[in-house]
């Protein structure tokens, strides 16, 4: 006779990974803080441009990060970190859209046939212009709307009425079209600069730049810079202490950091030569190039990962004095000399 035994123990069901704890409250264009909840004593960081804003959650996990007011429609990435030893390690991240508290209307001109902007998500917008009424419902995520009109705005004023998602009238706004005169892109001495800009691949005068950057004491009036499209614009700027830049630096060089390390990448076919220095004063220090450098960065190669030297243990700050020169077709096309300071592990 065969005897069978039935086990009382069932196979364990694999537990799903615990959901990471990070919530972010709604962020409006009128807000100067981002609030939410994560695990207690975790650090929350928000990077906006080159600046990183951070705060540590309290015992209940609540956090409040102070930031500059942001335009409606922008997306922020909120990151949480936990401390392991002396270093902060990435825990999780979450994206949040900046919403319009009331309404944000983009500038439109007399020749425009569109009126665009942001309201609360799913709100309805009615535009009365030149005797015609147009309506549009804002998107469900960012609250973006774009109203197309049959004829250009001209000299007429637009009446923009806002209704909530249930159709209840909220408020009415009036806007006039701007003249179609373009804003100047480049400035020098605080005035519009209309001189000819070099092409992206045009070589720079590296010797003349080095002479000027070594003699500059502060942000010089003769600097030429762009106030608008900074991602793809020419600049020649001197900040003092041997710090400055020339060329389409943001077009060729991509840099990022996590407040402990920095990464540098080459773009658009440029070869970057760099050298790191001990002093934060870069005046009269050697210029990196094909025959004198610490390292080389190419577009197809690995990014350069650099760890800034800790300068002030009490404040826990670190700095990375570095010179980067980009070459294309055997000639220099950009140079970036600066000293990046990070609040590492605070």
Cβ(126)–Cβ(135) under 8 Å? Answer: yes
Higher pLDDT, residue 182 or 249: 249
Mean pLDDT calculated for residue range 125-134: 96
Mean pLDDT calculated for residue range 202-224: 86
Summarize pLDDT for 24-64 with one digit per residue, the tens. Answer: 999 999 999 999 999 999 999 999 877 889 999 999 999 99
Mean pLDDT calculated for residue range 145-168: 95
CATH topology match: 22-98 vs 104-176: yes
Summarize pLDDT for 59-109 with one digit per residue, the tens. Answer: 999 999 999 999 999 999 999 999 999 899 999 999 999 999 999 999 898
Backbone angles phi, psi at 290, to 5 degrees: -60, -30
Question: The tokens of 210 are what?
Answer: 């080095």
- Pairwise CA distance, residues 173 & 102, whole Å: 10
Cβ(332)–Cβ(326) under 8 Å? Answer: yes
Higher pLDDT, residue 184 or 45: 45
3-state helix, strand, coil in the chain (%, to 5): 5, 45, 50
- Pairwise CA distance, residues 212 & 182, whole Å: 32
Residue recorded with tokens 């439109």: 108
Q: Taking the domains of the chain in order of start, what are their residue ranges?
A: 22-98, 104-176, 186-342
The pLDDT score that the predictor gives to residue 1 is 47
Is the pLDDT confidence value at 16 over 60?
no
CATH code 2.60.40 for 22-98? yes
Per-position b or e across 300-325, b if 16+ CB within 10 A of its CB? eeeebebebeeeeeeeebbbbbbbbb
Backbone angles phi, psi at 115, to 5 degrees: -120, 120
Secondary structure tally for the chain: helices H, strands E: 2, 28
- Pairwise CA distance, residues 283 & 123, whole Å: 56
Give the domain 104-176 fold.
Answer: Immunoglobulin-like (2.60.40)
Cβ(108)–Cβ(115) under 8 Å? Answer: yes
The DSSP call for residue 224 is B
Residue 170 gets the label, from left (phi > 0), alpha (psi -120 to 50) or beta, of: alpha
Backbone angles phi, psi at 235, to 5 degrees: -150, 150
CB atoms within 10 A of CB 151: 11
The pLDDT score that the predictor gives to residue 121 is 97
Distances (CA, A) of 4 to 10, 57, 116, 273, 303: 16, 57, 75, 75, 63
- Pairwise CA distance, residues 113 & 306, whole Å: 49
Give me the long-range contacts of 83-92 (CB less than 8 A, separation at least 24): 83/41, 83/43, 86/345, 87/260, 87/345, 88/43, 88/259, 88/260, 88/345, 90/258, 91/20, 91/22, 91/38, 91/39, 91/42, 92/20, 92/21, 92/22
Question: The tokens of 181 are what?
Answer: 């005169």
Summarize pLDDT for 231-245 with one digit per residue, the tens. Answer: 668 888 888 899 999
* Strands of the 191-192 sheet, one edge to the other: 191-192, 186-188, 225-226
The DSSP call for residue 85 is T
Summarize pLDDT for 301-342 with one digit per residue, the tens. Answer: 888 888 887 666 666 678 889 999 999 999 999 999 998 877
Three-class SS of 10-78: CCCCCCCCCCCCEEECCEECCCCEEEEEECCCCEEEEEECCEEEEEECCCCCEEEEECCCCCCCCEEEE
């Amino acid at each position: 006779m065969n005897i069978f035994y039935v086990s009382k123990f069932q196979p364990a069901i694999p537990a799903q990974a615990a959901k990471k704890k990070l919530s972010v409250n709604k962020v409006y264009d009128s807000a100067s803080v981002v609030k939410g909840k994560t695990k207690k004593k975790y650090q929350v960081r928000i990077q906006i441009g080159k600046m990183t804003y951070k705060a540590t959650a309290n015992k209940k996990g609540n956090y409040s990060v102070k930031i500059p007011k942001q335009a409606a429609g922008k997306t922020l990435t909120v990151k949480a970190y936990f401390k392991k030893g002396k270093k902060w390690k990435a825990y999780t991240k979450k994206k949040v859209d900046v919403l319009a508290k009331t309404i944000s209307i983009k500038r439109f001109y007399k020749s425009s046939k569109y009126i665009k902007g942001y309201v609360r998500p799913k709100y309805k917008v009615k535009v009365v212009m030149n005797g015609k009424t147009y309506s549009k419902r804002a998107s469900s995520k960012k609250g973006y709307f774009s109203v197309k009109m049959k004829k250009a705005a001209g000299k007429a004023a637009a009446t923009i009425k806002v209704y909530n998602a249930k159709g209840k009238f909220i408020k009415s706004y009036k806007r006039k079209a701007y003249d179609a005169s373009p804003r100047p892109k480049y400035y020098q001495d605080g005035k519009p600069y209309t001189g000819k800009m070099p092409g992206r691949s045009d070589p720079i005068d590296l010797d003349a730049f080095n002479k000027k950057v070594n003699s500059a004491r502060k942000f010089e009036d003769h600097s030429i810079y762009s106030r608008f499209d900074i991602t793809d614009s020419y600049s020649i700027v001197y900040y003092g202490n041997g710090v400055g830049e020339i060329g389409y630096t943001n077009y060729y060089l991509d840099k990022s950091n996590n407040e402990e390390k920095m990464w540098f990448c080459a773009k658009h076919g440029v070869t970057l030569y760099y050298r790191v220095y001990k002093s934060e004063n870069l005046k009269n220090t050697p210029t990196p190039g094909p025959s004198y450098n610490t390292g080389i960065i190419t577009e197809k190669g690995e990014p350069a990962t650099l760890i800034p030297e800790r300068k002030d243990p009490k404040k826990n700050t670190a700095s990375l004095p570095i010179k980067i020169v980009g070459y294309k077709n055997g000639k220099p096309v950009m140079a970036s000399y600066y000293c990046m300071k990070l609040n590492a592990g605070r």
